[in-house]
Amino acid sequence: MDSKGQIVIDRVNHTYRPPRGRAVLALSDISLEIRPREFLALLGPSGCGKSTLLYLVGGFLPIEGGRILVEGKPVAAPGPDRGIVFQHFALFPWKTVRANILYGLERQGLPKPDREKRAQAFIDMVGLRGFEDSYPSQLSGGMKQRTAIARTLAIDPSILLMDEPFGALDAQTRSIMQTELLKIWQRSPKTVIFVTHDVQEAVYLSERVAVMSARPGRIKAIVETKFPERNPGILRTKEFVEKVDELWNLVHDEAVKAQETTAP
C-alpha cells in the first residue's frame, strides 16, 4: 500500500502561550494514525484543541512535544502537499475568484496556458462558472467557500485539512456544501482531516470519527462510521441515526466539561 497522504501523529503535546497570562496545555499526548485517502473527522467541543491539531499537521504551529510524520517525513513547515481550508474562507480579497484559484498554480510554477486551463476546470467543478471575475466581497458565503475549496484543490494536495469549513454558512448552504464535498472527494479521493463540532456532519462525511476530550485535548474515542453508501438518502436511516446518537453521547459529556472549566 502506498503511503501517499499517510499521516502519523505520535504523542503530540501543545501548549498555548498567550502574550499575556498563563500558558495553557491545549493538547495532551495525542496519537493518531490516518490512512492514505481516508476521510477522518476530528470531533469535539469548542476549545478542545481540534483546530490546533489541524494547524500542527499543517505546519503552521511549531511542534514542541512528540512528532508528526507525513508520508514518513516529519512536518517542518506549511507546504502544498497539505492544502488547508478555513472557516472564514481566507480568500485574497483583492483578487478575483479566478485570480485566487490561480495563485497556488502560479506558486507551483505551472506554465500559463496550463494554469488557466486547470483553474477554469476547478471553477467549473465547484459550480462558479460565470463568477470568475467577481471579487470575494461580491460573493455569498457558500460561493466564497467554493472558491476557497477550488483554490486549495487546484494545487492537488495529497492531504486536505479542513477547519470547520461550513461553520460560517447558513444551514441550507451547509448541507448543500456537505454533499458537494462528498462528491468531490469520491471523485478524487484524498486524505482529509475534517474538524467540526457538528456530530451529524462528522458522521455523514467521514469514515472514521476521532472524538476529542475537553481541554487539554486527548483522543477520547475513535469510532468507525462506515456506511454502504454515502448520499443524502442515508441521513434518515436507522444505522445513521444510531451512529449519531452514539457519538453525540460521547461528545456531550465533553461539551459539558468544556462549559464548566472557566477560561484561563
Partner 1 sequence: MAGVEQQASLAEAETRISQDALRRFDDIFRRGAGLVSILAVLVAWEYFARSGKVTPFMLPAFSVVAQRIYIDAVHGDLWLNLGLTMYRALTGFVIAAIGGVVLGALMSRSKILRWFFDPLISVGFPMPKIAFLPIIILWLGLYDISKISMVVFDAIFPVVTATLAGIASVEKELLWSGRSMGAGEREMMWQIVLPAALPQIMTGLQVALPIALIVAIIAEMAMGGYGLGGAMMTASRYANSPGVFAGIVEIAVVGYILIKAMALVRRRLLVWHAEAADH
Which positions lie near partner 1, rule CB under 8 A?
55, 58-60, 77-80, 82-84, 86, 88, 90, 92-95, 103-104, 107-108, 127, 130-131, 135-140, 142-143, 151-152, 155, 172-173, 176, 179-180
C-alpha 43: how far from chain center: 11
Nearer of residues 47 and 83 to partner 1, judged by Cβ = 83
C-alpha 247: how far from chain center: 19
Cα 219 to Cα 210: distance, rounded to the nearest angstrom: 7
- Minimum Å gap between C-beta 1 and partner 1 is 26
Residues paired with 68 in a beta bridge: 9
- Minimum Å gap between C-beta 201 and partner 1 is 17
β-strand 191-196 against 39-43: which pairing, if any?
A: parallel
Q: Residue 133: helix, strand or coil by DSSP?
A: coil
- Minimum Å gap between C-beta 104 and partner 1 is 4
Residues paired with 210 in a beta bridge: 42, 222
- Minimum Å gap between C-beta 90 and partner 1 is 4
C-alpha 204: how far from chain center: 14
- Minimum Å gap between C-beta 63 and partner 1 is 16
Closest CA to 144 of 164, 163, 168: 168
Nearer of residues 124 and 239 to partner 1, judged by Cβ = 124
| Phi/psi at 156 (5° precision) | 55, 60
Nearer of residues 3 and 173 to partner 1, judged by Cβ = 173
Nearer of residues 172 and 262 to partner 1, judged by Cβ = 172
Nearer of residues 3 and 175 to partner 1, judged by Cβ = 175
